[in-house]
Amino acid sequence: MKIAILPGDGIGTEIVAEAVKVLQVLDLKFETETALVGGAAYEAHGHPLPESTLKLAKESDAILFGAVGDWKYDKLDRPLRPEQAILGLRKNLGLFANFRPAICYPQLVDASSLKRELVSGLDILIIRELTGDIYFGQPRGRRVSPDGHFPGAEEAFDTMRYSRPEIERIAHVAFQAARKRGKRVTSVDKANVLETFQLWKDVVTEIGTQYPDVALDHMYVDNAAMQLVKAPKKFDVVVTGNMFGDILSDAAAMLTGSIGMLPSASLNDKNQGLYEPSHGSAPDIAGKGVANPLATILSAAMMLRFSLNQPEAAARIEKAVDAVLTQGLRTPDIYSEGTTKVGTAQMGDAVVKALG
């Protein structure tokens, strides 16, 4: 088994270092290889996803990814921007199913932006389709000027698009995940306005008939945004498209206290996966040693469970994270009065120690 380690930019290098520490003490027999990606790869090779990095990713069983991006690259042509690396990896490896669990740890219930009773015990799973929708629609988004819809004015467009097979496979993933949890799927769409999401709704409904043991309901995305902050515990599994999932999963992240706590997995149909925290490269705190490494450490646990067939090791990591929170250790993003403020490396060391 081989793991590709792609730390990336900003806090990516700091948080991935802590996850690697944790993997090392588990003494599992994996080969690892590290490569540059994002802005770091652009600096060294002139491209955010060099051929060598893509090759390593393709031949690995799993990828542990940090984050990419920095405001200093905003002026680059879009294909050269760091964020294209993560889009390229998703597309090239066919990583269509993005799992984003949002779990509120009882120790952090007061770090949530919502009232304690609304989030206490929260455990929802957002499943975001990752390789279709408006982020990848053909024709590709571009500027058209000056002869578009509004003569003489500069314009831009992007294309929202889904095909039946793309919707079918993500629907199957959602229903199968729900079977192992609360047996409820909420499919989020905008079928009242968008034809793409009327197809989405029709296909999810059809696939749902194959899972009579799972309850299915449909919700428009605007209402889903409202319900997520009004009564988040009503949800079990939420399945939605690429763009709605991007936005709703960040909102769900905040319910749990900090985006620094939220892992993610992106899988293809061969169970090969890319594992990364749900957050970005956080340039505002990069290099300061204060980033929360727990989302990345929990992503490594998901990697052991989903792609490397090591569920016991995954559970050990999750237990160790729970233990350090119970000890009262907090990076600044989850700090509250009466707890102990620690930095990135101290938090990683504490998890290592809790692993025993």
The residue from 123, 158, 202, 250 that is catalytic is 250
Which of ligand NAI, Mg ion, none binds 246 (CB below 5-8 Å, type-dependent)?
Mg ion
Number of residues assigned to the chain: 356
Helix (H, G, I), strand (E, B) or coil at 110: helix
Q: How far is the CB of 66 from ligand NAI (least distance, A)?
A: 7
- φ and ψ of 63, to 5 deg: -125, 125
Confirm or deny that 260 is annotated as ligand binding. no
Q: Is 213 a catalytic residue?
A: no
How far apart, in Å, are the Cα atoms of 79 and each of 42, 83, 124, 242, 341? 11, 9, 34, 19, 40
Min CB(271)–ligand NAI separation in Å: 21
Greatest Cα-to-Cα distance within the chain, rounded to the nearest angstrom: 68
Choose the one of ligand NAI, Mg ion, none that binds residue 127, judging by a C-beta under 5 to 8 angstroms depending on kind.
none
* CA nearest to 123, candidates 311, 256, 241: 256
Residue 281 is labelled as binding a ligand: yes
8 Å CB contact between 272 and 158: no
Q: Pick the catalytic residue from 135, 162, 211, 275.
A: 135
CA dihedral 258, 261, 266, 271 (to 10 degrees): -160
**Looking at 9, 73, 190, 201, which residue is catalytic?**
190
Check if 250 is active-site.
yes
Could you tell me the smallest distance in angstroms from the CB atom of residue 105 to ligand NAI? Answer: 15
Cα dist. 76→38, 137, 139 in Å?
A: 12, 22, 21
Is 185 annotated as belonging to a binding site? no
Q: Which does 283 bind (CB under 5 to 8 A by kind): Mg ion, ligand NAI, none?
A: ligand NAI
Stretch that binds Mg ion, among 28-36, 119-127, 172-180, 242-250 (CB under 5 A): 242-250
Of 203 and 282, nearer to ligand NAI (C-beta) is 282
Q: From the CB of 140, what's the least distance to ligand NAI, in Å? A: 18
246 makes contact with Mg ion (CB under 5 A): yes
The residues binding ligand NAI (CB under 6 A) are 11, 15, 67-70, 83, 86, 259-260, 276, 279-285, 291-292, 295, 333
Has 223 been labeled as part of a binding site? no
Whether the Cβ atoms of residue 168 and residue 161 lie closer than 8 Å to each other: no
Nearest approach, Cβ of 148 to ligand NAI (angstroms)? 27
Set 201, 246, 275, 333: catalytic member: 246
Angle (nearest 5°) at CA 31 between 28 and 33: 130
Closest C-alpha to 170, from 221, 134, 204:
204
Tell whether 222 is in a known binding site: yes
Complex with ligand NAI: residue 67 or 174, whichever CB lies closer: 67
Residue 213 contact partner, candidates Mg ion, ligand NAI, none, CB within 5 to 8 A by sort of partner: none
Residue 246 a catalytic site member: yes
Helices (H), 51-130: 51-59, 83-93, 116-119
Q: Where are the alpha helices (DSSP H) in the chain?
A: 11-25, 39-45, 51-59, 83-93, 116-119, 164-179, 195-208, 221-230, 242-255, 294-306, 311-326, 344-354
Q: Does 222 qualify as catalytic in the annotation? A: yes
In angstroms, give the least distance from the CB of 348 to ligand NAI: 12
Question: Is residue 133 near Mg ion by the rule CB under 5 A?
Answer: no
238 is in an annotated binding site: no
The answer to whether the CB of 200 falls within 8 A of the CB of 162 is yes
How far is it, in rounded angstroms, from Cα 33 to Cα 41? 15
Return residues touching Mg ion (CB under 5 A): 246
Active site residues: 135, 190, 222, 246, 250
Q: Which residues are part of a known binding site for substrate?
A: 90, 100, 128, 222
Q: Which residues are part of a known binding site for NAD(+)?
A: 280-292
Q: Which residues are part of a known binding site?
A: 90, 100, 128, 222, 246, 250, 280-292
